[in-house]
Homo-oligomer: A and B are copies of this chain.
Amino acid sequence: MPSFKAPVEDVLFILDDVLNYQRHSNLAGFADATPDVVEAILREGAKLCEEVIQPLNAVGDREGCRRSEDGSVATPTGFKEAYEAYRTGGWMGLSVPEEFGGQALPMTLNTVMQEFISAANLSFGMYPGLTQGAIAALLVHGSDEQKRTYLPKMVSGDWTGTMNLTEPHCGTDLGLLKTKAVPNSDGSYAITGTKIFISAGEHDLAENIVHLVLARIEGAPAGTKGISLFVVPKVFVEEDGALGGRNAVSCGSLEHKMGIHGNATCVMNYDGARGWLVGGENRGLAAMFVMMNEARLAVGIQGLSQSEVAYQNAVAYAKERLQGRSLTGPKAPDRPADPIIVHPDVRRTLLQIRAFNEGGRALALWAALSSDIAHKSEDPKERQEADDRLQLLTPVIKGVLTELGFANAVQAQQMFGGHGYIEESGMSQFARDARITMIYEGANGVQAMDLVGRKLGRDGGRAVMSFFGEVAAFCQENKDDEALKPFVASLGKSLEHCQAAAMWFMQNAMAKPDNAGAGATDFMHLLGLVAIGYMWGRTAKAALARKAADPGSTERMDAKLITARFFAERMLPETTVLYRRIQAGADAVMAMPAEMF
């Protein structure tokens, strides 16, 4: 049976030593998040994830969700009780303002908790995850009345939330959206249409579900300019806040999926359901993007989470499974064979996953911290810089952390040989569950286009220039430090590739946009490697400092330094080929007539 231990120590090291989290104690909520408080919160969250939520992961995969003929949906055995534990623990509102019942703590802490909960049970974590996304959208775009009506109950977890974008013919291209909204006389709208792939669209965990739905008001302009956002509760809310009758929205069927069986992926039918406009008419996309951006960061972390839990189980197996002998002679001569962790190829695989997990975690937390700063700093320049960084890194985190998160789950499964292919090992589930993260919230190709087509050139390239500047300054600052030299030299080289690639796009993609499209995915990975490499550079520096200050940490800090070296020696050099591919441009890619494929 697979197990999970939340990486609390590593998170604390990243927050305290790598990101110097305490430096931001002037921000709202940060003063309350003293080191002691942070550690206590994370340990409590870890306990919930390890003891209550993780044991249901296999159950959810095996049982899946069941829809009854009346359209109601039952979640797997135990999910209800676990959700109640999550809800009563106050986790939903960890980073929500106090006026709506939240604890107003930094988003960064919530991001950590998202990793823990996703690693423990991705399907389960999606129920609160989507609710937090809906809360974020209502906080920014909801009217005061909407906030009063919905937020306290959502923050308490009594009600959950969803986002309804996709329709059968309309995924990435929301301009094709057909769901209709017809004004009612009372100021509400009658919403009619079919939405698909609606995660947590119907279930038995909460007494109400607050759907946020994109639809087109009758007579609105075609394309994305005519899309509005509506809040459509499953059960109406009376003036006094009590629950009333059922709205005309229902789950038509559940999808039969490759993974995340424990989450209810619904076809939702809106049959003149009453909904209320959120934000302005035809301004739906902007409102939805608040949810989307938070969600993309969260999905990147989901990808990372599967890599982490798969790694932990692969390591345990590699220490236990006896098979063959070390190339340098028996290491366990008194046993029939050595544990497979003696084999260099096994270690290479594990280190590759580990280097990604720890570096990716630092990157995700850096982005989360940037989100806190962007929202809460009183210094406009600091806010802008943080927002730039967050905007730039969001598609990278979504695309790279999910792509490699999945690949790593597969590699961790590989450590089990044939046993990993058997469902009872749990390793298949990590891979199957991780697979969705490459797809939802914008498939990874879309993330790459968002990065290259939008984020790169925005504000004259301000965000990427600032990022390059920061990494270059780090390299410059540490280039003469003997202990850091190997990391810094490798990072500097990769930074050059990234800068040159960005320059190549400037020179070659303006006149010929296909050159951007053909190199977008490679650039996303290139920037991802540099960003994670930068995190490893800072990690190595922090590890050296900690080791000097606290000899008791030597073993753990040496492990960091070895992993940093592995990343610099074996993973960063990939930027060479990514840059080469980008320079190849679109010619060969576009040359073949469609019918010859």
- Which residues of chain A have a CB within 8 Å of any CB of chain B? 166, 169-173, 175-176, 196-197, 255-259, 315, 318-319, 322-324, 327-328, 336-337, 339, 341-351, 354, 406, 410, 413-414, 417-418, 420-424, 428, 431-432, 435-436, 438-440, 443-445, 448-449, 453, 513-514, 516-518, 520-521, 555-556, 558-559, 562-563, 565-566, 569-570, 573-574, 576-577, 580-581, 584, 586, 588-594, 596-597
Inside 8 A of A589's CB, which chain B residues have their CB? 344, 347-348, 351, 566
Chain B residues with CB under 8 A of A327: 453, 513-514, 516-517
Per the bound structure, the CA–CA distance linking A596 and B553 in Å amounts to 12
User: Which 6 residue pairs across A and B have the least CB separation, nearest first?
Assistant: A344-B517, A327-B513, A258-B428, A344-B518, A569-B584, A173-B323
Complex A-B: 24 CB contacts under 8 Å:
A172-B324, A173-B322, A173-B323, A173-B324, A176-B336, A197-B418, A257-B421, A258-B423, A318-B597, A341-B594, A351-B588, A414-B438, A414-B443, A417-B443, A418-B440, A421-B435, A421-B439, A556-B596, A562-B588, A562-B592, A566-B588, A569-B584, A570-B588, A573-B576
The residues of B that contact A343 with a CB separation of less than 8 Å are: 445, 517
- B-chain residues with CB within 8 Å of residue A344 when the two chains form the complex: 514, 516-518, 520, 586, 589-590
Residue of B nearest to A351 (CB): B589
Instruction: List residues of chain B with CB within 8 A of the CB of A259.
Output: 421
Q: Given A514-B327, A584-B570, does the pair A348, B414 have CB atoms closer than 8 Å?
A: no
A563: chain B residues within 8 A (beta carbon): 592
- Are B449 and A345 in touch, CB under 8 angstroms? yes
Chain B residue with Cβ nearest A556: B596
Return A1 CB to nearest CB of chain B, in Å: 14
Please tell me if the beta carbons of A166 and B257 are within 8 angstroms of each other in the complex: no
In the complex, which residue of chain B has the Cβ closest to the Cβ of A509?
B327
Tell me the nearest residue of chain B to A350, going by C-beta. B597
User: Residue on B with the closest CB to A343?
Assistant: B517
What is the copy number of this chain in the assembly?
2
A175 and B324 CA atoms in complex are apart in Å by 8
Q: Which of B171, B256, B323, B521 contacts A417 (CB 8 A)?
A: B171
Give Cα A4–Cα B351 distance, bound, in whole angstroms.
39
The smallest C-beta distance from A448 to any residue of chain B, in angstroms, reads 6
CB distance from A153 to the nearest CB of B (A): 29
Say whether A597 contacts B422, CB under 8 Å. Answer: no
Residue of B nearest to A316 (CB): B597
Q: Which of B172, B566, B592 contacts A323 (CB 8 A)?
A: B172
> Which of A176, A328, A349, A421 has the most B CB atoms < 10 Å from its CB?
A421
When chains A and B are docked, how far (Å) is the Cα of A588 from the Cα of B564?
9
With A and B bound together, what is the CA distance between A327 and B175 in angstroms?
16
* Interfacial chain B residues near A562, Cβ < 8 Å: 588, 591-592
Chain B residues, CB < 8 A from A414 = 438-439, 443-445
Question: Which B residues lie within 8 Å of A592 (CB)?
Answer: 347, 351, 558-559, 562-563
Contact of A577 among B196, B406, B438, B574 (CB under 8 A): B574
Determine whether the beta carbon of A319 is less than 8 Å from that of B418: no
Q: Within the complex, which residue of B171, B257, B349, B580 is in contact with A422, where a contact is CB–CB below 8 Å?
A: B257
Q: Which residues of B lie under 8 Å from residue A596 when comparing CB positions?
A: 555-556, 558-559
Tell me the bound Cα distance from A258 to B424 in angstroms.
10
Residues of B within 8 A of A514 (CB): 327-328, 344
CA distance A73 to B284 in the complex (A): 56
Residues in B neighbouring A354, C-beta threshold 8 A: 597
Q: How far apart sit A323 and B351, CA to CA, in the bound complex (Å)?
A: 40
Q: How far is the CA of A576 from the CA of B346 in the complex (A)?
A: 23
Give the docked Cα–Cα distance between A166 and B419 (Å). Answer: 11
Contact of A581 with B570 in the complex, beta carbons under 8 Å: yes
Contact of A432 among B258, B348, B422, B576 (CB under 8 A): B258
A62 to B513, CA, bound (A): 44
A369 to chain B, nearest CB (A): 27
In the complex, which residues of chain B have a beta carbon less than 8 angstroms from the beta carbon of A556? Answer: 596
Determine if B591 and A319 form an interchain contact, defined as CB atoms under 8 angstroms apart.
no
C-alpha spacing A406/B591, complex, angstroms: 26
Q: Which residues of B contact A597 (CB under 8 A)?
A: 315, 318-319, 341, 347, 350, 354
B348 and A521 contact, CB distance less than 8 A: yes
Asked whether, in the complex, the Cβ of B345 is within 8 Å of the Cβ of A520, the reply is yes
A117 to chain B, nearest CB (A): 21
Q: Would you call B345 and A445 a contact (CB within 8 A)?
A: yes
- Taking CB atoms, residues of chain B closer than 8 Å to A449 are 345
A573 touches B580 (CB 8 A): yes
Q: CB distance A445 to B346 under 8 Å? A: yes
A576 proximity list for chain B (CB < 8 A): 573, 576-577, 580
Report the nearest B residue to A513, measured CB to CB. Answer: B327
Known: A176-B336, A417-B439, A445-B349. A588 touches B565 (CB 8 A): yes
How far, in Å, is A564 (CB) from chain B's closest CB?
9
Would you give the shortest CB distance from A526 to chain B, in whole angstroms?
12
* Pairwise interchain contact A436-B421, C-beta atoms closer than 8 A: yes
